[in-house]
């Protein structure tokens, strides 16, 4: 017998399918205030195609869970299968949304929402899009924090469900970018140009790594690129944070940039002023 499904039945079937999609995460941070507007829940997806020397989350790079060593389990999702035995765990959209919904009140009151970070969250497009769609359906503001090193069609697929992209620019010199991140910056810059042309909502984030990305020459090259090639005027400078070094120790890995002090506030103010003098809006 042939059954003719109604639109409502088809919607329910589509929603059920979305909620059963699953992917790999390695952390979930609540009450985050530096990952987009307002108070946010940040979900850290596993897997990254880059290998930045200064990466604060080296446990993010492997796309699948890996031996935990002495890293802590994901504290906000204690019941996840595998959590506590490995770095990262598989989680369904439905389970993750249950946790996310607990903080909707904070999102609403602060103008916040959910940020999907990594690793590189766009490396799990089906999972990410299912999460983004579900959030948007429920009226939750969405941010995607990306390295930009991903096929443009994947970025394009996520765009309808993304309120803001946090987009990293690390180094303008291609050979230095290859040396310190493992990949060329061409795809990253090309994607950024396409996103700008398409009117995507963008906030550029520049990690300031002493002696690597924070040099006057690199910051000037980034500023000139944005001024000359794009309409993007929102930037954020991310001060170096030495806390990442201790994580490398716990993981038994070498911290390749070496030890550095955190920047003084005057130094940050000078670097922010460098962008502001050309009309950029610099987030703090």
- 60 near ligand SF4 (CB under 6 A): yes
Collapsed DSSP state (helix, strand, coil) of residue 66: strand
Find the part of the chain contacting ligand SF4 (CB under 6 A) among 47-55, 71-79, 235-243, 257-265.
47-55
Q: Which is nearer to ligand SF4, 55 or 97 (CB)?
A: 55
Distance separating alpha carbons of residues 108 and 243, to the nearest angstrom: 31
> What span, in angstroms and rounded, lies between the C-alpha atoms of 110 and 18?
28
- Told to check if 51 binds ligand SF4 by CB under 6 A, we report yes
- Listed in sequence order, the residues at least 6 apart from 115 whose beta carbon sits closer than 8 Å to its beta carbon are 32, 35, 36, 40, 41, 42, 43, 142, 143, 144, 145, 166
130 touches ligand SF4 by CB under 6 A:
no
| Per CB under 6 A, 119 contacts ligand SF4 | yes
Strands (E), the chain: 22-32, 40-45, 66-67, 86-87, 89-92, 113-117, 141-146, 164-168, 202-207, 234-238, 281-283
Please report the sign of the dihedral spanned by the C-alpha atoms of residue 228, residue 229, residue 230, residue 232.
negative
Instruction: Answer yes or no whether residue 118 interacts with ligand SF4 by CB under 6 A.
Output: yes
Q: Which of 29, 57, 233, 236 binds ligand SF4 (CB under 6 A)?
A: 57
The only residue of 43, 48, 93, 237 in contact with ligand SF4, by rule CB under 6 A = 48
- Quote the least distance from Cβ 52 to ligand SF4, whole Å: 3
Question: Site for ligand SF4 (CB under 6 A): which residue of 52, 100, 188, 206?
Answer: 52
**Cβ at position 17, least distance to ligand SF4 in Å:** 29
Q: Using CB under 6 A, pick the residue from 25, 28, 45, 55 that binds ligand SF4.
A: 55
Output the CA torsion sign for 70, 74, 76, 77.
negative
Can you give the binding site for ligand SF4, defined by CB under 6 A?
48, 50-52, 55, 57, 60-61, 118-120, 147
């Amino acid at each position: 017998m042939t059954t003719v499904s109604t639109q409502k039945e088809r919607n329910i079937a589509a929603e059920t399918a979305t909620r059963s999609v699953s992917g790999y995460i390695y952390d979930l941070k609540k009450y985050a205030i530096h990952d987009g507007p307002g108070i946010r829940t940040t979900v850290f997806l596993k897997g990254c195609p880059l290998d930045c020397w200064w990466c604060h989350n080296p446990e993010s790079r492997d796309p699948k869970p890996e031996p935990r060593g002495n890293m802590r389990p994901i504290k906000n999702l204690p019941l996840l299968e595998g959590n506590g035995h490995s770095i990262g765990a598989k989680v369904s959209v439905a389970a993750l949304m249950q946790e996310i919904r607990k903080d909707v009140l904070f999102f609403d009151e602060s103008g916040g929402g959910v940020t999907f970070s990594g690793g590189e969250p766009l490396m799990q497009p089906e999972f990410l899009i299912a999460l983004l769609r579900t959030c948007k359906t429920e009226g939750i503001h969405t941010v995607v924090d990306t390295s930009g090193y991903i096929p443009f069609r994947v970025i394009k697929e996520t765009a309808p469900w993304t309120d803001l992209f946090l987009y990293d620019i690390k180094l303008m010199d291609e050979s230095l970018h290859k040396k310190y991140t493992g990949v060329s910056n061409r795809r990253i810059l090309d994607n950024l140009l396409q996103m700008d042309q398409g009117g995507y909502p963008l906030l550029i984030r520049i990690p300031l790594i002493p002696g690597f990305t924070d040099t006057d020459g690199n910051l000037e090259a980034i500023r000139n690129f944005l001024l000359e090639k794009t309409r993007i005027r929102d930037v954020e400078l991310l001060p170096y944070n030495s806390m990442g070094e201790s994580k490398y120790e716990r993981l038994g890995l070498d911290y390749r940039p070496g030890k550095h002090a955190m920047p003084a506030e005057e130094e940050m103010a000078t670097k922010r002023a460098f962008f502001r003098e050309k009309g950029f809006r610099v987030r703090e």
